[in-house]
């Protein structure tokens, strides 16, 4: 089959690789109908998460048709149309029983790397390096889905593949940020990053009853899409004093909940950007925490900061003093897709959650390297590139 492979820092190519098959009784194999780029892939492709091997298949957000079913799978049949959570979880360990699916003790078949990095290993993820289990990703004609009864969900008849695709990761991640960030009715919520994840966090905040939701970025086309399709307020940080504006829009208190949907490659117009970039390049810090710092400063006293953006290791100049003295709750997580996908599919069926506008560019998988380039460089109004591995 054809698959999009990582072949070196900033290099990908589409090549022939062996088809996957059932390895464990709880697996299914899917024929991938749509698979989409994610900001997380950029961190991998750019070499910021140094646990990829040349030839690894990328991709973790996808929908497909079940073509093979392991003997212990109960919920899926050949021919079913399903969407799959990007994180792989067993559904029965202690963490899965608390619905902390991305912390699953069994999903990551290669826990040694992250145990030494972080003390404990999170679950596994499709196409997300050997630190996350070394699973082959979804940018391929076929993909093996472990624990299919737990991680794959039938798409309701009224929901198109185009829409359901985003339940796999970005909509679930955004919902988690608003839910675990504790957005309450009447809240003011600020979201850093107008990519798919930030937009979905904003939409979730609105559906959870926030009175004002403000999304911050520097790309006008992303902010315009956010206003039009999500229906919230926006700020361009290159033209606005974000801290002052957020105070103004929250009655002088600061936002109740600040959601960071930017990640380790954050940009900043200030002098800290050069400082962070030099330290990151020299490997003195692994991540550029610009947006996290801004969120901690902007958040109201006693408020909550939720980090959705991916970070790998250590950061410099984290404002611990602001966090402690302002009484903030700071949390982060990889996404617990299994917890949210059924509810998201229901909301999609009711048109409360619309995601098609995120698929700005749809192309055959063979154009994948070009699709990633457009996504990385934010070319031609790109929000996400969607690949069709089987035409
Ligand atoms: N927690 C999870 O499970 C999970 C799941 C999916 C994605 N992610 C992470 O979420 C982040 C966003 O993903 P995405 O797909 O939307 O990425 P994306 O690259 O499409 O969007 C990121 C946006 O952040 C903006 N940005 C950069 N610096 C900024 C700053 N200082 N202030 C405000 N905005 C800034 C960029 O202009 C861009 O529009 C990534 O780090 C990704 O790895 C996490
Ligand atoms: Zn993702
Ligand atoms: Zn588990």
- Judge whether residue 278 has pLDDT over 90: no
Task: Note the pLDDT of residue 49.
Answer: 86
Task: Note the pLDDT of residue 344.
Answer: 98
Q: Read off the pLDDT of residues 217-237 as tens digits, 9 standing for 90 and up.
A: 999 999 999 999 999 999 999
Task: Note the pLDDT of residue 162.
Answer: 98
pLDDT: which is higher, 225 or 47: 225
Ligand nearest to the CA of 382: 1
For a pocket test of ligand 1, which of 40, 171, 292, 307 has the largest count of ligand atoms closer than 8 A to its C-beta?
40
Residue nearest to atom 6 of ligand 1 (CA): 170
Task: Note the pLDDT of residue 257.
Answer: 99
Determine which of 48-57, 63-72, 266-275, 365-374 has the lowest per-residue pLDDT on average: 266-275
How close is the Cα of 120 to the center of ligand 3, in Å? 14
How close is the Cα of 308 to the center of ligand 3, in Å? 21
Ligand nearest to the CA of 332: 1
And the tokens for 180?
Answer: 């675990």
Q: Is the dihedral of CA 317, 318, 321, 326 positive or negative?
A: positive
Beta bridge partners of 29: 68, 144
And the tokens for 217?
Answer: 């970025």
What stretches of 90-241 show up as alpha helix (H) in DSSP? 94-97, 112-118, 148-151, 161-164, 170-180, 196-207, 220-225
Task: Note the pLDDT of residue 177.
Answer: 98
- Judge whether residue 108 has pLDDT over 80: yes
- Judge whether residue 10 has pLDDT over 90: yes
When computed from its CA atoms, the radius of gyration of the chain, rounded to whole angstroms, is: 20
Q: Read off the pLDDT of residues 129-171 as tens digits, 9 standing for 90 and up.
A: 999 999 999 999 999 999 999 999 999 999 999 999 999 999 9
CB 264 within 8 A of CB 311: yes
Task: Note the pLDDT of residue 276.
Answer: 83
Our answer on whether the CB atom of 217 is closer than 6 Å to any ligand 1 atom is yes
Q: Read off the pLDDT of residues 340-389 as tens digits, 9 standing for 90 and up.
A: 999 999 999 999 999 999 999 999 999 999 999 999 999 999 999 999 99
DSSP 8-state assignment for residue 103: G
What stretches of the chain show up as alpha helix (H) in DSSP? 39-45, 94-97, 112-118, 148-151, 161-164, 170-180, 196-207, 220-225, 242-248, 272-281, 290-298, 320-325, 337-349, 368-376
Task: Note the pLDDT of residue 67.
Answer: 98
Measuring CA to CA, which residue among 333, 268, 334 is closest to residue 295? Answer: 268
Our answer on whether the CB atom of 268 is closer than 6 Å to any ligand 1 atom is yes
Q: What is the pTM of this model?
A: 0.97
- Judge whether residue 281 has pLDDT over 90: no
Our answer on whether the CB atom of 123 is closer than 6 Å to any ligand 1 atom is no
- Which residues lie at CB < 5 A from ion ligand 3? 89-90, 93, 96, 104, 106
Mean pLDDT of 96-120: 96
pLDDT band at 283; cut points 50, 70, 90: confident
- Judge whether residue 35 has pLDDT over 80: yes
Using a pLDDT cut of 70, give the percent of the chain over it: 100
| φ and ψ of 205, to 5 deg | -60, -40
Task: Note the pLDDT of residue 126.
Answer: 98
Tell me how far apart the alpha carbons of residues 96 and 92 are, in angstroms, rounded to a whole number. 6
Task: Note the pLDDT of residue 94.
Answer: 98
pLDDT band at 186; cut points 50, 70, 90: very high
The mean predicted confidence, pLDDT, of the chain is 96
Task: Note the pLDDT of residue 317.
Answer: 87
- Judge whether residue 284 has pLDDT over 80: no
The Cα-based distances of 253 to 233, 244, 257, 273, 301 in angstroms read: 18, 11, 11, 27, 8
And the tokens for 30?
Answer: 């899917």
pLDDT band at 240; cut points 50, 70, 90: very high
Mean pLDDT of 35-58: 94
pLDDT band at 211; cut points 50, 70, 90: very high
- Judge whether residue 50 has pLDDT over 90: no
- Judge whether residue 269 has pLDDT over 80: no
Task: Note the pLDDT of residue 183.
Answer: 98
- Judge whether residue 273 has pLDDT over 90: no
How close is the Cα of 277 to the center of ligand 2, in Å? 23
Work out the angle at residue 167's Cα, subtended by the Cα atoms of residues 46 and 89, and round it to the nearest 5 degrees.
Answer: 75
Give the chain's end-to-end CA distance (angstroms, integer): 13
Is residue 263 packed enough to be buried (19+ CB in 10 Å), middle (13-18) or exposed (0-12)? buried
The Cα-based distances of 334 to 22, 177, 248, 284, 299 in angstroms read: 27, 10, 32, 24, 22
Rounded to whole angstroms, the maximal C-alpha distance in the chain is 60
How close is the Cα of 218 to the center of ligand 2, in Å? 21
């Amino acid at each position: 089959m054809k698959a999009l492979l990582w072949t070196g820092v900033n290099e990908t190519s589409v090549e022939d690789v062996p088809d996957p098959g059932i390895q464990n009784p709880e697996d299914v194999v899917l024929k991938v109908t749509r698979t989409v780029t994610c900001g997380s892939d950029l961190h991998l492709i750019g070499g910021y998460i140094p646990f990829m091997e040349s030839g690894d298949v990328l991709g973790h957000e996808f929908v497909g048709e079940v073509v093979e079913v392991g003997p212990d799978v109960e919920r899926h049949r050949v021919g079913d149309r399903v969407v799959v959570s990007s994180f792989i979880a067993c559904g029965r360990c202690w963490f899965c029983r608390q619905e902390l699916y991305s912390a699953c003790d069994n999903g990551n078949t290669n826990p040694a790397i992250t145990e030494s990095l972080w003390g404990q290993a999170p679950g596994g993820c499709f196409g997300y390096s050997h630190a996350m289990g070394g699973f082959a990703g979804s940018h391929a004609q076929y993909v093996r889905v472990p624990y299919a009864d737990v991680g794959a969900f039938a798409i309701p008849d009224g929901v198109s593949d185009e829409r359901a695709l985003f339940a796999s990761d970005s909509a679930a991640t955004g919902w988690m940020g608003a839910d675990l960030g504790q957005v309450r009715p009447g809240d003011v919520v600020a979201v850093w990053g107008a990519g798919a994840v930030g937009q979905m966090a904003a939409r979730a905040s609105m559906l959870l009853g926030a009175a004002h939701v403000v999304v911050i970025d520097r790309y006008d086309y992303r902010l315009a899409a956010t206003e039009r399709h999500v229906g919230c307020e926006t700020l361009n940080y290159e033209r606005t004093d974000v801290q002052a504006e957020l105070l103004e829009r929250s009655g002088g208190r600061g936002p109740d909940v600040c959601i960071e949907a930017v990640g380790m490659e954050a940009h900043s117009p200030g002098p800290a950007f050069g400082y962070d970039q030099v330290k990151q390049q020299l490997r003195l810090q692994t991540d550029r925490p610009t947006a996290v710092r801004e969120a901690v400063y902007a958040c109201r006293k006693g408020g909550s900061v939720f980090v959705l953006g991916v970070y790998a290791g250590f950061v410099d100049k984290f404002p611990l003093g602001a966090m402690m003295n302002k009484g903030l709750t700071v949390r982060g997580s990889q996404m617990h897709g299994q917890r949210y996908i059924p509810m998201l599919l229901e909301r999609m069926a009711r048109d409360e959650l619309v995601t098609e506008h995120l698929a700005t560019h749809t192309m055959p998988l063979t154009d994948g390297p070009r699709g990633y380039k457009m996504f990385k460089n934010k070319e031609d109004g790109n929000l996400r590139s969607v690949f069709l591995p089987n035409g």
